[in-house]
Amino acid sequence: MALHTHPTHHPDDDLLVAYASGDLDEAWSLLVATHLAVCPICRSRVEAAETVGGALLENIPTDDLADLSDDALERALERVAATPPDFVGERDGSGSLICKSTSTVTPVLPQPLRDYAGGDVGELEWRRLGSSAFHIPLVSGRGAPAARLLKIPGGTAVPEHGHNGLELTLVLAGSFVDDGERFARGDVETADTDLEHQPYAEAGSDCICLAVTDAPLRFRGPMARLVQPFIGI
Ligand SMILES: [Zn+2]
């Protein structure tokens, strides 16, 4: 039975708006861009934010802008309905969920993440992280938000990979469960690392994630603050 799936856990709207406004640091931009590659819903929201942002720059009167933002969102959502998913989930003989592309084989790492990492998951040099997991640092700036790929064997706990602040984890393969909630391909978990939480990868296959830690430095730039009221955030 083919099962059409879109992500069910998305980045916060203010992160999407900041992305549309070009206000995000590298690590956060990478995570949002990767999520957009597998999430037509968020693509439409970013498009709406860009449309409204462009209109603001062109000094369109505010009254017209209110109509425009409704309109832009509606049109964008219509496009979502017409967009086929880039993969479908199916159960194989043993009952595990496998991802099958609707056309050719879908890489685990969507663009632009694949370019960033230098290949798809099978071609990368994974480094050990703790006793059972592996990782590949992708963006590491002194004091700036950091991004890394994580590979956690099914049935084991996700190792601690942040310290203080915000932590976003985007699932690319397999799945993990945190506090009773399940996260699978395309899903983004937003966690405050001060919270006690111990996610674990579900048995069956490796869980591959993109994890970004530390508070974004320019989370709400001037453009994001301008756009937010018009798309109802
Ligand atoms: Zn989304």
Summarised one tens digit per residue, pLDDT across range 102-117 is: 446 789 999 889 988 9
CA of 129 to the centre of ligand 1 (A): 28
Question: Are 139 and 207 within one domain?
Answer: yes
CA of 24 to the centre of ligand 1 (A): 17
Q: Which of 15-19, 45-49, 58-62 has the lowest mean pLDDT?
A: 58-62
CA of 169 to the centre of ligand 1 (A): 13
Question: Of all residues in the chain, what percent carry a pLDDT higher than 70?
Answer: 64
Domain that holds residue 191: 115-213
What pLDDT, on a 0 to 100 scale, did the predictor assign at position 51? 84
Mean pLDDT computed over every residue of the chain: 77
Comparing 101 with 75, which gets the higher pLDDT?
Answer: 75
Q: Could you read off the pLDDT of 127-181 as tens digits, one per residue?
A: 998 888 999 999 886 677 789 999 999 999 887 655 567 889 999 999 999 989 9
Residue 105 lies in a domain: no
Residue 138 lies in a domain: yes
Instruction: Determine the Cα–Cα distance for residues 58 and 70; give it in Å rounded to an integer.
Output: 18
CA of 171 to the centre of ligand 1 (A): 12
CA of 77 to the centre of ligand 1 (A): 13
Question: Are 69 and 122 within one domain?
Answer: no
Question: Are 156 and 187 within one domain?
Answer: yes
Question: Are 168 and 222 within one domain?
Answer: no
Residue 158 lies in a domain: yes
The pLDDT of residue 186 is above 80: yes
- Cβ neighbours for 35, distance < 8 A, ≥ 6 positions apart: 7, 10, 11, 42, 170, 186, 188
CA of 42 to the centre of ligand 1 (A): 4
Instruction: Say how many domains are in the chain.
Output: 2
Q: Which of 7-11, 67-71, 111-115, 183-187 has the lowest mean pLDDT?
A: 67-71
- Residue 176 carries which DSSP code? E
What pLDDT, on a 0 to 100 scale, did the predictor assign at position 144? 74
CA of 39 to the centre of ligand 1 (A): 5
Q: What is the mean predicted confidence (pLDDT) over 40-51?
A: 91
CA of 200 to the centre of ligand 1 (A): 22
CA of 222 to the centre of ligand 1 (A): 23
CATH code of the domain containing 180? 2.60.120.10
